[in-house]
Amino acid sequence: MTDSEDLPRKVRFTRRLLDSSSTPRISILDIALLALTVGLAAALVVIATKPVTSTTRLKTTSVLEHKMIWTTLGTMSGPIPSPDRSQPANLLWNNKHAILVDAGDGAAEQIAKAGHSLSDVDTIIVSHLHIDHTGGLSALIGMRYQQHIPGTLTIYGPPGTRQVVDAIVASEKPLLDLDAAGNSLVAQLAPSKVAVVEIIDGEKFSVDDLKITAAENSHYGFEPGTANYKAYQSLSFRFDMSDRSISFTGDTGPSDAVQALAKGADLLVSEITDPDAELASLKAERTDIPFIAYPVLKKHFEVQHLTADAVGKLAAGAGVKSLVLTHNPMPDNLIPQARVTITKHYDGPVAFAKDLDNY
Ligand SMILES: [Zn+2]
Ligand SMILES: [Zn+2]
């Protein structure tokens, strides 16, 4: 028997991940749905994984010491699919529950690659309702239905989450009808359930002993007083446990509220963007977008996402102990300069996350 064979399956899995190296990907944008076809972006984390490279290693001790492990399941900024990196999704594992934080397309497969089953995930927390953060919800809910996974999947998210989830649940009726008609034994199983809890700026809630605080950020940029401003919020989160705290920006531009939320956190998982890289990628992908739209798009990336300069100021202003970057559209050759820019403001450890990194 090896040292690891008496460990739980997921711990062995995690240890393998910590010992493995993964290959980076490319870039992209996060076209959103502003007037024309805008984009969004973001990025996250990294922890003590990878074979030692001083530039990416945040700490020298194993992340398994922590009660709460943050796994960057998907580190690409959306919503253009990448052949190398999955869409935004993260897993927070506290040894009891695997909590999915954002659910971009491909999240179910990334959960499996991280060594978990879908039945481990009973909580999903959504930061905002752009499709690169919600595209995996339909598969996650449908797979639970078809497997008859017992219990309730609780989905927390900002206003509008209920509308999204209700539509997905309604779309599953043919699946449930076929399931029931095809196998009378299956029809006798209790159905999987889905619950939605909508949360807003300032809300606090708990999952076991994990305490979560939400704060509205500056990602949406609606004009105050408009209907959309009143109806929707993009949220950042802080996760507090007894041994560490993690703050997660979601998608945001510079924001005093996000900085206050992250104050003193052990780890800040932040999005990052490069407006020029985003635009170059968008131009290559969508040649039909008129040049006149480029200044508008560039401003979106500069104001409603975080450049390397803005990330450095955020991490320094919040006084966080370490920084992990995800929702990252940059090709690898741009990362060294981004790191230099960040460290002009922030002198703590910085890591650019890859899919399935653990922190
Ligand atoms: Zn977004
Ligand atoms: Zn995004």
Nearest Cα to Cα of residue 197 among 126, 292, 108: 126
Q: CB neighbours of 246 closer than 8 A, spacing ≥ 6?
A: 68, 70, 92, 238, 239, 265, 266, 267, 268, 269, 359
With 50 as the cut, is the pLDDT of residue 10 above it? no
pTM value is 0.83
Rounded to the nearest angstrom, the distance between the alpha carbon of 183 and the centre of ligand 2 is: 40
Rounded to the nearest angstrom, the distance between the alpha carbon of 115 and the centre of ligand 2 is: 25
Phi, psi for 104 (deg, rounded to 5): -65, 165
Who surrounds ion ligand 1 at CB < 5 A?
40, 130, 251
Rounded to the nearest angstrom, the distance between the alpha carbon of 245 and the centre of ligand 2 is: 23
Rounded to the nearest angstrom, the distance between the alpha carbon of 323 and the centre of ligand 1 is: 20
Q: In CATH terms, is domain 3-358 a member of 3.10.28.10? A: no
Question: In which residue are the tokens 């990907």 written?
Answer: 25
pLDDT in tens, 14-57: 433 333 333 333 333 333 333 333 333 333 333 334 333 333 34
What residue ranges do the domains of the chain occupy?
Answer: 3-358
Quickly state the pLDDT bin for 225 (edges 50, 70, 90).
very high
Rounded to the nearest angstrom, the distance between the alpha carbon of 36 and the centre of ligand 1 is: 15
Identity of residue 271? E
Rounded to the nearest angstrom, the distance between the alpha carbon of 40 and the centre of ligand 1 is: 5
Determine the Cα–Cα distance for residues 249 and 313; give it in Å rounded to an integer.
14
Q: Checking DSSP bridges between strand 152-157 and strand 193-198, what pairing results, if any? A: parallel
pLDDT in tens, 159-216: 999 999 999 999 999 988 888 787 667 767 777 899 999 999 999 999 988 999 999 9
